[in-house]
Amino acid sequence: EPPDTPKDFSCQTQDVKTVTCTWNQGDTFLYGKNLPKYSLSEKFSQKMLPCTGSCSKKCSCSWDIGQQRIWNVTVTVENALGKKTATDVFNVNHRIYPTAPFQLWEECTDTEITLHWNHKNNGIELFCQTEVLQPDGKVELHNSSDIHLPHKSITVGGLQPFTKYTVRVRCGAAKHFWRWSNWSEALAITTKEATPSGKLDIWREITPVLGGRNVTLFWKQAPGFRPNGRSISYEVTWEKIEGGSRPESISFSSVYNSTRIFIDSHSYRISIMAKNNVNFSLPSVLIISRSTENNILFCSFLGTEELKEERVKGTDDGVFIPWEPRCIYDSYIIDWCNFPKFQPCDLQWRRFGPNTSSAVINSAAFVPGVRYNFRIYGSVDNRASLLEKKTGYLRELPPVVDPSVEKVELTFNAVTLFWDSYLTNESQSGFVRGYHVYVSPIQGNCSLKGSKKHVFSDNSELCKYTIENPEEKKYTVEHLMSNTKYKLVVKAYTGGGETPSFNFIYIDTPYNSNVLYFLILLVIVPTLVATMCHWKKKWVKECCCPAIPSPNKSKVLSFKEFKIGSEKVMKISDCIPDMLAVDVTAEDQKL
């Protein structure tokens, strides 16, 4: 097949003396001695150009142009089977491709770099571009505005003091721009030092002691602070606000970020500054009020009670801290310990604006199952006052250990369990919400009155009782059966649930003595009564069922007979009664 048409055929010059044309050869389809041949011709002069195309990855051909500026160049490729051509028409002055700048050097201040270089295109007006690589990897491009000949420098401003930048330069023709030159070699430049910019972010922790207060001061570089120097140090100064005493001060190297000072009960002004080889930064100031006065007057009456800790919840992003805003403060501060179980606890703090009423606090040190305590302060005129306390977990976990039953009180139908020494404080891996008491007889399922059935994955069942007060550390399980063996366990639960393990204790309920007494009354007493009745039945019969006497055998009728008709009549004179009642009737009068 004939060869492919040359692709991307283009011509350019670097010095307006020599032109170089380049192209991609494409597929030749032949090899060895049958490789295609290339030739270049110019239409206006009707001449073959004095160069032979050479190809490796890309084909090229160069020649001296003399005084001719307009060119119509054709490249011809041919083999035994045919030929193909490609043409480029151009003005040499419009195809300038400068050489790369070289021999770079710089002059710099704390915010500017003036970059100088040499180049071989001394007769050409150039437009140059500087690439500035920032320390964070961001790239900025700065174009030169001065195109007067010769152009060999550019000034880049708006830089940070004492910061390392990497720069390089490329250039193009200022008139009839064709393309950029290659980049120069990169040059690393560090701007000069300057006064530290911004202020330090400072905080304190006050501990009352005998005769005064220990004040632990902390400082860190705020987001807007820049040291702007090679070596940084810190200077702490404190003085009484009243009395005009001489200030005291102490300096620290850059490896320190805290110190402790002792002050008495007076008000103090404390300032901390950063210092480099040039100068001090602006001071950051804290006012420590007298130990006997209120730090700050509230907008409304807040009471004098000790602040109570309120519980807060963790989220996927951190611990959510809300607070009630007060109108007087110009900022709020939240502090906490990254490692509350250790001393020192690595105190941390964050500042918030006056219109803020909540924040999400997060730290790489936060882990689930650890209780973190947060204090919210309001600040005005560099004086801070404690407003609220919060406590919470990034995520609650089940309790570390379950309550240990220390005492058991047992009756035939109830058992009372005690676990008085169980702790519900910050040592737990979650807020203890209450307790579950699980009960079951050794044989059979549990169905105690007042309980809920709890079924496990293996289909075993327990009776479950819930205690919702974490400070209630005893419980009585009622309605047990006497003379029965039971297993019991007490488990604490938090917002993270309860532990999966069950360490049972075992009890045996005693016999019910009331049932024994009832049996005695119901069986033995009647038997004894019956036996005695049988033994003394004659006496019992006479006591309970005496024989009815015959009137004829009564002594009452043993008197002298006096008859009226067939009936015996007793004369009054025959007996002396104790009391006599006489019914006076006509018949009696007759008698």
Q: What is the pLDDT of residue 547?
A: 63
Q: What is the pLDDT of residue 460?
A: 80
Q: Which residues contact residue 183 at a Cβ distance below 8 angstroms, ignoring those fewer than 6 apart? A: 100, 131, 168, 169, 170
CATH architecture of 7-94: Sandwich (2.60)
280 phi and psi angles, rounded to 5 deg:
-90, 155
* pLDDT tens digit sequence for 439-486: 999 887 788 888 888 887 777 889 999 999 999 999 999 999 999 999
Common-topology check for domains 7-94 and 200-296:
yes
Q: pTM of the prediction?
A: 0.69
Task: Choose between 27 and 243: higher pLDDT.
Answer: 243
Three-class SS state of 74: strand
Q: What is the pLDDT of residue 513?
A: 66
Which pLDDT band holds residue 393 (cuts at 50, 70, 90)?
A: very high
∠ CA 287-233-160, rounded to 5° = 100
Fold of 200-296: Immunoglobulin-like (2.60.40)
Q: What is the pLDDT of residue 531?
A: 75
Fold of 305-393: Immunoglobulin-like (2.60.40)
Ranges 57-71, 210-224, 263-277, 462-476: which has the least confidence: 57-71
Q: What is the pLDDT of residue 444?
A: 79
Nearest CA to 362 among 314, 319, 313, 315?
Answer: 319
> Is residue 315 predicted with pLDDT exceeding 60?
yes
Residue 172's Cα: distance from chain center in Å? 54
Nearest CA to 183 among 259, 129, 110, 219?
Answer: 129
Which pLDDT band holds residue 67 (cuts at 50, 70, 90)?
A: confident
The tokens for 540 are 């019992």
Q: Which DSSP string do the residues of 10-69 spell out, in sequence order?
A: EEEESSSSEEEEEEE-------GGG--EEEEEETTTTEE-S---EESSSEEEEEE-TT--
pLDDT mean over 138-163: 82
* pLDDT tens digit sequence for 173-223: 888 899 999 999 999 999 999 999 999 999 999 999 999 999 999 999 998
Work out the angle between the directed axes of helices 537-544 and 525-535 (0-180°, nearest 10).
Answer: 90
Three-class SS state of 206: strand
Q: What is the pLDDT of residue 297?
A: 38
Residue 196: asked if its preceding bond is cis (omega within 30°), the reply is no
Domain ranges in the chain are 7-94, 102-190, 200-296, 305-393, 407-509
Q: What is the pLDDT of residue 295?
A: 43
Domain 102-190 matching CATH 2.60.40.10: the answer reads yes
Task: Choose between 527 and 129: higher pLDDT.
Answer: 129
Q: What is the pLDDT of residue 302?
A: 40
Q: What is the pLDDT of residue 191?
A: 95
DSSP symbol at 316: S
Q: What is the pLDDT of residue 303?
A: 43
149 phi and psi angles, rounded to 5 deg:
-90, 140
Task: Choose between 53 and 376: higher pLDDT.
Answer: 376
Query: What's the rounded Cα separation, in Å, for the pair 379 and 329?
Result: 5
**Which CATH code fits 407-509?**
2.60.40.10
Cα atoms in the 13 Å half-sphere on the side-chain side of 369: 8
Query: What's the rounded Cα separation, in Å, for the pair 562 and 265?
Result: 131
Which pLDDT band holds residue 590 (cuts at 50, 70, 90)?
A: low
Q: What is the pLDDT of residue 537?
A: 66
Nearest CA to 331 among 286, 384, 293?
Answer: 384
Task: List beta partners, residue 12.
Answer: 20
When the pLDDT of each residue in the chain is averaged and rounded to a whole number, the result is 85
Which pLDDT band holds residue 364 (cuts at 50, 70, 90)?
A: very high
Query: What's the rounded Cα separation, in Å, for the pair 441 and 456?
Result: 15
Contacts 24+ apart (CB under 8 A), 64-69: 64/17, 64/18, 65/13, 65/16, 65/17, 65/18, 65/19, 65/92, 68/44, 68/92, 69/93
Query: What's the rounded Cα separation, in Å, for the pair 238 and 247?
Result: 6
